[in-house]
C-alpha cells in the first residue's frame, strides 16, 4: 500500500488535507508526512524549499497544492513535481482581483482615510470603461482575471512573455511591458516568479506608470522591490498598493507595509488552497502517478 504524506508541520497545510485525501485514496495510507517520513512515496505540499524533500528517502512524486510553487521550481528536485491547476483557484483569484481593482477604482482606501479623520469629502468618480487596467501575466490565472475585469467594463490590456491572439490586447517584450505600464491607471501583477520576473516591479517600472496609479500584487512578493514601492508611494508617483504577497511571509512585525497609510496588507489569501476544493484534483493526479501514467501539470 502506497504511503501518501501531507506536509502539515513544515508545509503549512491543514490536517484537513489528510482526511480529505484519505476519503478519496482508498488504496493508500494518507498520513502526516513527518510521522512516516521514511515511508512516504508521494508528498503533498504547499511551496516548501526543495531541500524539504530530502527528509523523504523513498519519495517518488510531489504534488503541490499551489498554482506557483516557485521555491520548489528554483531548487534541484530528483522526482516529478506537479503544480495545482483547478477552476476553484482561478475563481478565487479573479474574485479577489476584482475586489481589489474595484477598491482602487472607486477610491475606497481614500474614503477610509477620510473616515478615520471624520471628514466628509466626496471624490470625483469615473466609469469603469474610463479606467485603464494592466494585467501582468496571461496564463492560467492572469487570463481569467483580465477577462473578468473586461466583462465588468474596465479598459484592459495585458502583458505576457510571448505573443497571444486574444480579444484582450496582449503585448509582449520589453517595449510591450513599458507600454502596458504606461497605460495602467491600475496595475495587477499575476506573473509567475522566475529569474526573469524577480524584482520586475522596481523604481524604473514605477516611473513609467501614470502619476497616481495603483498597484495590486497577487503574484509573488519577490516581483516587487519593496523599498522602491515605498519610495513611489511616499513621493506620490503611486497612490495606493494592495498587496497579498511579500518577500518574507508571514510579513514581519514592524515591516513598513503594516503601518503605511497607502498600503493594504492581505495575508496571502487571494487564491487559497482549500482542502475541500482541491483534494479531488490532488487525488486524481496521485492515482495517475501510481497507475504509471504521467501526472498532469508537471513543472
Catalytically active residues, by annotation: 220, 268
Sorted by sequence, the CB contacts under 8 Å of residue 34 that are 6+ apart come out as 5, 8, 9, 10, 55
Q: Using an 8 Å Cβ cutoff, are 189 and 219 in contact?
A: yes
Contact 225, 241 (CB under 8 A): no
- Residues 136 and 189: beta-carbon distance below 8 Å: yes
Burial pattern 112-125, b for ≥16 Cβ within 10 A else e, equals: eeeeeeeeeeeeee
Which three-class secondary structure state does DSSP give residue 198?
coil
Cell numbers describing residue 175: 517595449
User: Are the beta carbons of 251 and 266 closer than 8 angstroms?
Assistant: no
Grid coordinates of 68:
506557483
Strands (E), the chain: 2-6, 28-32, 42-45, 61-64, 81-82, 132-136, 155-159, 170-171, 186-189, 213-217, 238-243, 263-265
Closest CA to 296 of 276, 280, 282: 282
Q: Which three-class secondary structure state does DSSP give residue 41?
A: coil
247: its cell numbers: 518577500
- Which residues in 3-16 are b (16+ Cβ under 10 Å) and which e? bbbbbbeebebeee
Amino acid at each position: 500500500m502506497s504511503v501518501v504524506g501531507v506536509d502539515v508541520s513544515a508545509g503549512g497545510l491543514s490536517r484537513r488535507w489528510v482526511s480529505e485525501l484519505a476519503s478519496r485514496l482508498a488504496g493508500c495510507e494518507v498520513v502526516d508526512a513527518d510521522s512516516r517520513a521514511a515511508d512516504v512515496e508521494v508528498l503533498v505540499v504547499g511551496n516548501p524549499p526543495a531541500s524539504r524533500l530530502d527528509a523523504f528517502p523513498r519519495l517518488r512524486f510531489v504534488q503541490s497544492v499551489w498554482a506557483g510553487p516557485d521555491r520548489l521550481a528554483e531548487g534541484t528536485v530528483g522526482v516529478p513535481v506537479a503544480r495545482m491547476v483547478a477552476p476553484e483557484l482561478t475563481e478565487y483569484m479573479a474574485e479577489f482581483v476584482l475586489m481589489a481593482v474595484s477598491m482602487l477604482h472607486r477610491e475606497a482606501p481614500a474614503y477610509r482615510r477620510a473616515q478615520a479623520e471624520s471628514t466628509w469629502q466626496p471624490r470625483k468618480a469615473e466609469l469603469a470603461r474610463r479606467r485603464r487596467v494592466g494585467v501582468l501575466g496571461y496564463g492560467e490565472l492572469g487570463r481569467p482575471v483580465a477577462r473578468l475585469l473586461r466583462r465588468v467594463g474596465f479598459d484592459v490590456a495585458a502583458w505576457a512573455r510571448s505573443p497571444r491572439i486574444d480579444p484582450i490586447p496582449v503585448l509582449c517584450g520589453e517595449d510591450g511591458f513599458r507600454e502596458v505600464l504606461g497605460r495602467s491607471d491600475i496595475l495587477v501583477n499575476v506573473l509567475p516568479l522566475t529569474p526573469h520576473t524577480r524584482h520586475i516591479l522596481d523604481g524604473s517600472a514605477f516611473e513609467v506608470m501614470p502619476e497616481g496609479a495603483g498597484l495590486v500584487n497577487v503574484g509573488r512578493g519577490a516581483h516587487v522591490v519593496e523599498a522602491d514601492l515605498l519610495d513611489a508611494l511616499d513621493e506620490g508617483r503611486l497612490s495606493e498598493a494592495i498587496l497579498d504577497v511579500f518577500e518574507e511571509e508571514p510579513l514581519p512585525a514592524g515591516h513598513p507595509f503594516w503601518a503605511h497609510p497607502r498600503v493594504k496588507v492581505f495575508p496571502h489569501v487571494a487564491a487559497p488552497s482549500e482542502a475541500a476544493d482541491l483534494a479531488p484534483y490532488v487525488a486524481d493526479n496521485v492515482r495517475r502517478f501510481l497507475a504509471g501514467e504521467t501526472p498532469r501539470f508537471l513543472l
